[in-house]
């Protein structure tokens, strides 16, 4: 005997109520406070960098062609190592991601980062410069950042580090290049700027998906603090490297 319409409706309403509870439970686990804290940490660090707390980039006399300024050449050479390192490290994390969307987006990030490195190499080669000079001998402080990030155990910790570093790279590097010497860095900025938002969004979404326990969120905060410390040391090392070229 078929159930009456009233029984069917009541069962349907009960199912909807259960779905609502499940959604509410899921939303309660979304790490909104964590993301706000991470963003605040990034913003505070970016302000300090922009104020010159860790030194300031200088690219020499902008009236001189960029290929003739060692500061510009050195800056571009310094960036080859991070671009390739990010590509390698994100690629290594893809097997740890269970979500197919995350796998696809991480794969695209690898392609993007390799594209950035290719742009740097081709630009430096067009200036008759050896592009991999600081790939094989990176600044120690920058190498330390990637050694730490590569050692992180879980995907959410790794992408927390990416969230911080990618988010800091935009105001501390790309924006400064665009302000101080847009013509010298136009090729690199044009190749990278549009991709940064996608990479930050991927890292954010991984955090939202996986940082759903107090333990995971505590680990993410610890990673953020450590990677910020390493990032600013790397930034200062770049400033010093450029000063040495004056």
For residue 153, count CB atoms less than 10 angstroms from its CB and return exposed for 0-12, middle for 13-18, buried for 19 or more.
exposed
31 pLDDT exceeds 80? no
Distance, CA of 31 to chain centre: 19
Q: What is the pLDDT of residue 245?
A: 81
169-196 as b/e: b if 16+ CB within 10 A: bbbbbbebbeeebeebbebbbebbeebb
User: Using one digit for the tens of pLDDT, what is the confidence trace for 57-69?
Assistant: 999 999 999 999 9
Report the candidate in 55, 31, 94, 37 with the shortest Cα–Cα distance to residue 224: 37
Enumerate residues 6+ apart whose C-beta is below 8 A from 208: 30, 31, 35
User: Using one digit for the tens of pLDDT, what is the confidence trace for 210-225?
Assistant: 999 999 999 999 999 9
pTM of the model: 0.86
Q: What is the pLDDT of residue 123?
A: 98
C-alpha neighbours within 13 Å on the C-beta side of residue 28: 6
With bands split at pLDDT 50, 70 and 90, how would you rate the model's confidence at 6? low
Percent of the chain past pLDDT 70, that is, above it, reads 88
Q: What is the mean pLDDT of the chain?
A: 90
Mean pLDDT of 119-130: 98
With bands split at pLDDT 50, 70 and 90, how would you rate the model's confidence at 27? very low
């Amino acid at each position: 005997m078929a159930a009456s319409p009233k029984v069917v409706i009541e069962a349907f309403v009960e199912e909807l109520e259960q779905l609502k509870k499940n959604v509410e439970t899921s939303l309660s686990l979304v790490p909104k406070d964590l993301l706000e804290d991470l963003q605040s940490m990034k913003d505070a660090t970016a302000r300090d960098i922009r104020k010159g707390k860790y030194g300031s980039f200088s690219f020499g006399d902008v009236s001189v062609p960029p290929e003739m300024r060692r500061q510009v050449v050195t800056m571009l050479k310094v960036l080859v190592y991070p671009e390739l390192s990010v590509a390698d490290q994100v690629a290594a994390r893809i097997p740890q991601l269970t979500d197919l969307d995350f796998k696809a987006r991480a794969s695209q990030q690898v392609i993007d980062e390799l594209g950035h490195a290719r742009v740097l190499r081709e630009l430096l080669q067009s200036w008759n410069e050896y592009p991999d000079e600081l790939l094989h001998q990176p600044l120690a402080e920058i190498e330390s950042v990637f050694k730490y990030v590569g050692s992180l155990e879980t995907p959410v910790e790794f992408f927390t580090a990416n969230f911080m570093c990618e988010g800091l790279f935009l105001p501390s590097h790309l924006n400064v290049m665009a302000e101080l010497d847009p013509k010298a860095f136009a090729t690199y900025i044009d190749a990278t700027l549009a991709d940064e938002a996608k990479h930050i969004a991927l890292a954010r979404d991984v955090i939202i998906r996986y940082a759903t326990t107090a333990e995971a969120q505590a680990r993410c905060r610890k990673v953020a603090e450590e990677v910020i410390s390493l990032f600013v040391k790397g930034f200062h090392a770049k400033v010093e490297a450029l000063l040495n070229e004056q």
